[in-house]
Amino acid sequence: MSAELVHGYEAYASDVTLEVVDHAAHFIVDDRPDVVRDQALAYFGDQRAA
């Protein structure tokens, strides 16, 4: 999905972050697991050290 296709989300969500990931398609977990991991850790917090 390109960034141009996400216009109009404002009526449904007030806090949205869009990140365009190079070399990834529909199955981003398979295509770029490193990006998914890094974003999940940033969002939920890295609990490995706790």
Whether 28 and 21 have beta carbons less than 8 Å apart is answered as: yes
CA angle 35, 28, 12 (to 5 degrees): 95
Q: Mean pLDDT in the chain? A: 85
Residue 14's pLDDT is 84
Residue 14 placed within a domain: yes
DSSP state for residue 33 in the 8-state scheme: H
Residue 16 belongs to some domain of the structure: yes
50 in any annotated domain: no
pLDDT for 1 beyond 70: no
Q: How many domains does the chain have?
A: 1
**pLDDT tens figures, 34-49:** 999 999 999 898 776 6
49 assigned to some structural domain: no
Q: Which residues form the domain of 13?
A: 3-44
pLDDT band at 5 (very low <50, low <70, confident <90, very high): confident
On whether residue 13 sits in a domain, the answer given is yes
CA 27/CA 1 separation, integer angstroms: 11
31 within some domain: yes
Domain-embedded: residue 32: yes
Query: What mean pLDDT do residues 17-41 have?
Result: 92
